[in-house]
Amino acid sequence: MSRIAVVGAGAWGTALSIVLARAGRHKVRLWAYEREVRDSIENTRTNDLFLPGCTVPESVQITNDLSEALQEAEIVLTVMPSHHARRLYEQMKELYSQGVLLVSATKGIENRTYKRMTEVAADVAGVSRIAALSGPSFAKEVARGDPTAITVASTDTNVAATIQREFSDPMFRIYTNDDVIGVELGGSLKNVIAIAAGVVEGLNFGHNTAAALITRGLAEITRLAVSCGARRETLSGLAGMGDLVLTCTGGLSRNRTVGVELGRGRKLRDIMAGMHGMVAEGVLTTDAALGLAARYGIEMPITQQMHAILHEEKSPQDAIRELMSRPGKEE
């Protein structure tokens, strides 16, 4: 049994807390920023704001006090939105126990610096034992116990093996990988393609269009990730193709849902206002992805068109038309 702090009580952080506390396996403290989330879990054992209908075990201690959450934690699992990561790591760096193992489950890239979440953690928190957790995983399905397989990546094989052992259970299977770059970029960049997949749905295009988008989306994700130092085969695995297919086709995907509404003609600001605090990471990741692509001289036509739709009010119809009329290429 380990003492685990989960920082971030959105849908994914809550679902992971449920997994880790199943059958009394670990002592789990869950930190929530929102007081209403704390009150909801304390009073009803459900996170009504972000993960309604899923029971949080009594053994999960919920708190709004970051210091209390981290006290004596052996493993710290961070599940905050990417745009809050640096600030929270700054707050946490004096609160860790010595030798703590940090696991990032945030799927995003920091804007302006274009750093992955484990890079932000290493910069700020001064922790050397770091891993990234990613893969095809809708929070609701994980929380209710659907069989799920994901990946933990660390350059330290002992760290990856520890997380595999401590986090796995009969319904939650974890594979290890030492390609942290590939696992993190696969999990982050797929959100951009998922918004595009939603646009395809919102425009009432069929399976041909969706299949083409997913395939070519994987191609440009792989181009960028490999240029950043990832291994190509990682992008063919759970954290790449697996997560991409799930997020592009599943109705529980927030990023895909944003795209559907864009395809139907709604404005981004109105869509985001109706999400009640939930985050679609792909909206922010689009900027960072293009920044990384420019740094390495990588062409990312789908991502470019998504940026134009999201941030320049380009019509989805014009974006599709431009993608389809690009000069012929060799696959």
CA distance 246 to 244: 5
190 a catalytic residue? yes
- Which residues are CB-neighbours of 137 under 8 A, at least 6 positions away? 12, 15, 148, 150, 243, 246
Give the CA radius of gyration of the chain.
19
- Alpha-carbon dihedral sign for residues 239, 245, 248, 251: negative
- The conformation of residue 240, written as its DSSP 8-state character, comes to I
- Which residues are CB-neighbours of 210 under 8 A, at least 6 positions away? 197, 200, 201, 248, 249
The one catalytic residue among 190, 267, 314, 329: 190
Distance of CA 256 to the CA centre of its chain: 13
Dihedral pair phi/psi, residue 301, rounded to 5°: -65, -40
Whole-angstrom CA distances from 160 to 15, 174, 175, 177, 228 are 20, 10, 9, 7, 21
Helix (H) or strand (E) holding 71: none
Are 41 and 60 in contact, with CB atoms under 8 Å apart?
A: yes
Active site residues: 190
